[in-house]
Amino acid sequence: MKKMKMFILMIFLLLLLNASFIYANQEIDLNDEENFETGLVNILTYEEAAEKAINYSYKLKNQLKELEKLEEQRETAGRELSYGGDDETHFSRIKKVKSLDASIQMAKKEIEISKESLTFETKNAMNDVNKLLNDKKLEELNLQDTKSKLDAAMARFQKGTISAHELKNQQEAYDKKIKELEMLQKTIEAAYLRLNTLLGIKNSQEYVLEETDVYEPLKDTDINSFVSRVLSNNPSIWNQEKKIEMAELDLVLHVYNVGGDSYDTKKINISVEKNNLATLKISLEESIRNTYNQIRQTEKSYEILEDNLKSAENTLEILHTQYNAGVAISSQLQEAELQIIQLKNDIKNKAMDHEKQKELLYKPYL
């Protein structure tokens, strides 16, 4: 009997502690219209965040400096090309100018890719935070539901309609939910830290991050022609084609030089670069087709989630009717409502994943 009293006392103490936990973790709802009207929050858009990331990136700064250096070298090489000299010297200067021209083009392309990659990475980092915040809202609702079940179990235990073991199981379920919410909060903090590092700021938590869940399925298209279009705009393909051009120029401007590559060796170099281009195209095509198939699978999953949501909403309507008629209880309604919130959250996350996959389909180099 003493053990039972101690157990009940422990349960009450845990309930008090858990109530304090919930109260202490209440936050201002950043999505509340009143907060926006009173200016309590700032919104960070994808475009603004991308601009911060681009301005902060040291990699991009170094690439811009490298481009500046190449342009200075090209200017010098252009002046040297007008100087006199024998054929070997003149051809060497032509190759140097052409090589620098290609390097400048490559450097500009790399800068463009870096900006696109930073924009892509920033949007994904913001979406990761938003996903986690949405998950947190859902987990808080689940915690409230588990708390209600624990309160009901306590009342039933006091009436003697359930055992101490059943009450203990409900308490453990509640404690588990609290631990899961604490772990989720740590994951959110890590996601914010990653975003802060990317943007070069310390306070992304103070912003409401732009969030979009617009879903636009891929249009029906001929996959073969689509792959050809994507490959034609791929920077890796462009870069490899430039290598072939330089190898061909080296052959055209060939001058015998002791210790240098022979004419036949340079012809072999061209063949090797062309083979590398063919291999690259095969690899990229396979990657594009795989991404395309993944997107189609995501779209099927999205459709299934939408069907499940409609079914859940119909079930909730029926439960409301049954509840009003006295044949359903409030806990059934609450569970049905939670299921709808869960499905809506899943649909929103799936739309974000779909958008990310489409971006990678059009720009596999990101």
Task: Locate the domains of the chain by residue range.
Answer: 285-365
Mean pLDDT, all residues of the chain: 87
Q: Where are the beta strands (DSSP E) in the chain?
A: 42-44, 207-209
- Checking if the pLDDT of 221 tops 90, the result is no
| Residues 313-349 as b or e (16 or more Cβ within 10 Å = b) | eeebeebeeeeeeeebeeeeebebebbeebbbbbbbb
Segment 83-116, tens digit of pLDDT: 877 767 888 888 899 999 999 999 999 999 999 9
pTM of the full structure: 0.81
- Extract the tokens encoding 267: 């012809």
What's residue 23's pLDDT? 32
What's residue 36's pLDDT? 41
131-134: Cβ within 8 A, 24+ apart: 131/349, 131/352, 132/184, 132/187, 132/188, 132/191, 133/188, 134/345, 134/348, 134/349
